[in-house]
Structure 1
């Protein structure tokens, strides 16, 4: 299918599931283009997509150079030693998951980087991210960093999780986001939630997601 047709289908599903959400949020769709050609990415741009996500530095920089006047999201794990290679090209980072990375961003960035703190809500061993009980102390440590703005939290549900489990994980992240938002730290507005991919974005929307990261179902 053409990206435009996929986009219309996804937008309709977002709108339907927003009706089931207790939160009045705007949902931003991030097109994950890591496995598709430049032509397919340009097709997504022509269809009206304005947010693009990549998880490798090379692919990120290539897409940023290709796609003009869009918002670029680095959604993969960022190695500390690679921060200098990409951080000043990043609009949003979805994977702030450790203090060493925060310190390197603070050292290398020439602008305030909008970051999602990655939280491993499910406790899955193969997933990156802070444990839920580690988040408060992490926020306290970085809240006065000049080059980091914690715009929100991010998580990924396990691939084999049931719908019931996914609801539980996403609702837990929403509760944590609201708790941090209530602190009203200047550099930690924490209004946003990045959660939900091709297989579970509808649940994420119901649970308060403001950014969903969709690859396969949108661009293939």
Structure 2
């Protein structure tokens, strides 16, 4: 049986500064660092002591710092993969959230959503984000390890989950799994039917809330 624990990084500086995250390389706040330690302890409590564990992470600073807290508890190194990053908002990254909000063109209710141009120079389409996250997850899931931890971002988690359940990229135009920062989502594949389940989505009980 395989279990994948998907972690969304906790509070980062862009959250409290009111600026756009995306590829803006913000760091964890003091509260975020404490939450990362709580995430690591929670994962340690869920994974057997003698189990082999693999750790993968987006390469942005806020996810690296989260992965470092987990790595310290498990005694493993993190494999950094840029494809697990949050969506790029192009020139909006690091700017005030209001700047983006004033220029953002939302996707249509009906019609092309995956390749929709949001009106922000350099911003990724939903299709571009989905394809790179799927590619990263394909490589992770090719590995035989039964306990894997993936540290990513709130926006990217949707595509981790849809790749897990093998939803075709072209079908995810309306998909959205909104979870809190600092959450743990648990994915499990049984070793008989090979069915893939979403056992828990966006758990934040380890943070003392939810």
The question of a shared fold, defined as TM-score above 0.5 by the shorter chain, is answered with no
The TM-score with structure 1 as length reference comes to 0.33
The TM-score with structure 2 as length reference comes to 0.34
Select the structure that is richer in helix.
1
Larger relative CO (CA 8 A, sep 6+): 1 or 2?
2
